[in-house]
Chains A and B, each alone.
Chain A
Amino acid sequence: MSQFIEFVIKSGFLMDGCGVIGLGLIALAAVRLSRRYHSWGGSLLACGAMLLLLGRLWVIAAKQILTAQIMADLGHTLSEVILLAPFALLTAGLAGVVWGLWGHEQWLRAER
């Protein structure tokens, strides 16, 4: 196994960082679109990007924070909820981004 691939997969930090930066850029762009150009898709896009960002950070943080000891302390139900909640966030966030992009496309078509 080459050392670079091992680094990329094992720590996962490089790609996770790329994803989080990209989502941040989407959120920034969406806020800009809705504030400056008054595109209604922009607000939805911003909400979706925020949800995705929250879900991503949750997943990344849970990987680092949740050890077996902490999960045993929290109990079965709560740890299940904590582990499954980001997936709801990620799904809703993706839907928000796609819906927002569609709305922005409609807005662009109406402007032209």
Chain B
Amino acid sequence: MTFPPDVLPLASISAMRPVFLIIMGVFLLLTAWRITRGTTGWSPRLLMAGAMMLATGYSVIIPLYNAGILIAIPPSGFVNGDAATAMAWECLKLVTLNGGWLVFGMGLAIHAGVFETEKSVAPIQVPHSSSHEPIH
């Protein structure tokens, strides 16, 4: 079985990864929307905001970079083309991905009750202070 040569690159990992990321981003947004549907409070708001940022980053910005439409800033810092645009997209990518994970993680943490403390069921032990031996 032979493939025409222009089909093979479409099945490579570097071609599949953006597609996978697009699907994952959209699915993340969909799942977050299904979780937060009909609820109020800060946890769904943060979850939804984070999922929207992540979906933007993963299903729009990273595929654009992989498709070569947006050019990444090389380590030398020299950009051929519009430097301000390249920097704005880089900034947007950093903010949507990292900020998205931060906001999403915060929402999930509030949802899971990480910041709440459970009331301890252990009886409170009051130390006996002996009046015979004064504490030095």
Contact = CB atoms under 8 A, between A and B. Distances in A.
Interface of A: 1, 5, 8-10, 12, 15-16, 18-19, 21-26, 28-30, 32-33, 36-37, 42, 45, 52, 87, 91, 94-95, 97-98, 101-102, 104-105, 108
Given A29-B114, A30-B108, A94-B21, 18 more contacts: A5-B91, A15-B94, A16-B98, A19-B101, A19-B102, A22-B98, A25-B106, A26-B104, A28-B112, A29-B105, A29-B111, A36-B113, A98-B24, A98-B27, A98-B28, A101-B31, A101-B32, A105-B35
Contacts of A16: 98
A101 B35 contact: yes
A15 to B, nearest CB: 4
B120 to A, nearest CB: 15
B102 A22 contact: yes
Nearest to A97: B28
B101 A23 contact: yes
26 contacts: A8-B91, A9-B87, A9-B94, A12-B94, A15-B98, A18-B99, A18-B101, A19-B99, A22-B102, A22-B106, A23-B101, A25-B106, A26-B101, A26-B105, A26-B108, A28-B112, A29-B105, A29-B109, A29-B112, A29-B114, A30-B112, A37-B112, A94-B58, A95-B24, A101-B28, A102-B31
Contacts, number: 98
A94 B32 CA distance: 14
A15 B111 contact: no
| Dominant secondary structure of chain A at its interface with chain B | helix
Contacts of A36: 112-113
A19 B87 CA distance: 19
A64 to B, nearest CB: 12
Contacts of A1: 87
B103 interface: yes
Contact of B104 (A22, A32, A91, A105): A22
A110 B108 CA distance: 19
A108 B109 contact: no
Contacts of A42: 112
